[in-house]
């Protein structure tokens, strides 16, 4: 499925002003990180304030990394989320158990021969996911690292997967045009590329990113 306009999710929103800047620029979805080890982690209280200032028609994605079920349920009892994002080693049964659409992140590991490993077996293990997010692998942090992986692998997954593919990992204004042209993903997901420092988005970088997405998509 080739989108006429590539959707964009901005992840790791920690401030109301950043949510507003992303919504004004045209973000389709915003990500709230409920992973305590991340510099972008928010409490449900912070998340509720961020959501309260954001205009309607922006989807909310809650991000977890190998959570206990109680953590996810507790967040869902306190704020409204449209989609769950699982960024650890969660299996399909776990991801489906909350009754919400979910996106499964798969980190593309380099293989022993220097080529990237094939993510297709992991993708097909999540046939009921609403989307698969392909991200770079970094042993020090499960996501939000600003690193890229081999986009040829992402293109192969877009061609082979029945589930929409979201491209992530090191996206920024200077490379997103090539990413859209080469990979043709359903959507893009990014964090570091629109930040002045981890967790703090920069409105000028957000605008520059969307200018480029709009230029290439139209």
Q: Is 157 one of the catalytic residues?
A: no
DSSP 80: -
H helix or E strand, kind and range, residue 70: helix 69-78
Is residue 142 a contact partner of residue 181, using CB atoms and an 8 Å limit? no
Kindly tell me which of 35 and 102 has the beta carbon lying closer to ligand LARABZUK: 35
Q: Cβ–Cβ contacts within 10 Å for residue 136, how many?
A: 19
Kindly tell me which of 40 and 201 has the beta carbon lying closer to ligand LARABZUK: 40
Q: Helix, strand, coil % (nearest 5) of the chain?
A: 35, 20, 40
Q: How far apart are CA 64 and CA 166, in angstroms?
A: 17
Torsion of Cα atoms, 178 then 184 then 186 then 191, to 10°: -20
| Closest distance of CB 138 from ligand LARABZUK, Å | 9
Kindly tell me which of 51 and 145 has the beta carbon lying closer to ligand LARABZUK: 145
| 11, 83, 95, 157: the active-site residue | 11
Q: Which residues bind ligand LARABZUK (CB under 6 A)?
A: 11-12, 31, 33, 35, 38, 40, 63, 65, 87, 135, 141-146, 168-171, 189-193
| 95, 135, 157, 189: the active-site residue | 135
Q: Is 113 one of the catalytic residues?
A: no
| Closest distance of CB 159 from ligand LARABZUK, Å | 22
Kindly tell me which of 19 and 171 has the beta carbon lying closer to ligand LARABZUK: 171
Q: Which residues are catalytic?
A: 11, 135
């Amino acid at each position: 499925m080739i989108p006429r306009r590539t959707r964009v999710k901005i992840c790791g929103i920690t401030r109301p002003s950043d949510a507003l800047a992303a919504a004004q620029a045209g973000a389709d979805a915003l990500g709230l990180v409920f992973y305590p080890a991340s510099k972008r982690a928010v409490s449900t209280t912070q998340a509720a304030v961020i959501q309260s200032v954001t205009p309607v028609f922006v989807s909310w994605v809650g991000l977890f990394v190998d959570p206990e079920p109680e953590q996810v349920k507790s967040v869902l009892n306190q704020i409204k989320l449209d989609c769950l994002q699982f960024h650890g080693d969660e299996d399909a049964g776990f991801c489906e158990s909350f009754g919400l659409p979910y996106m499964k992140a798969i980190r593309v590991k380099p293989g022993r021969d220097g080529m990237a490993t094939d993510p297709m077996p992991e993708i097909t293990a999540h046939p009921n996911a609403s989307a698969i997010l392909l991200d770079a692998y970094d042993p020090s942090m499960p996501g939000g690292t600003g690193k890229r992986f081999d986009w040829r692998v992402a293109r192969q997954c877009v061609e082979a997967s029945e589930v929409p593919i979201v491209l992530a990992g090191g996206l920024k204004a200077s490379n997103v045009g090539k990413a859209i042209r080469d990979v043709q993903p359903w959507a893009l997901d990014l964090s570091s590329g629109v930040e002045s420092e981890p967790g703090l988005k920069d409105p000028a970088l957000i605008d520059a990113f969307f200018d480029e997405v709009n230029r290439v998509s139209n």
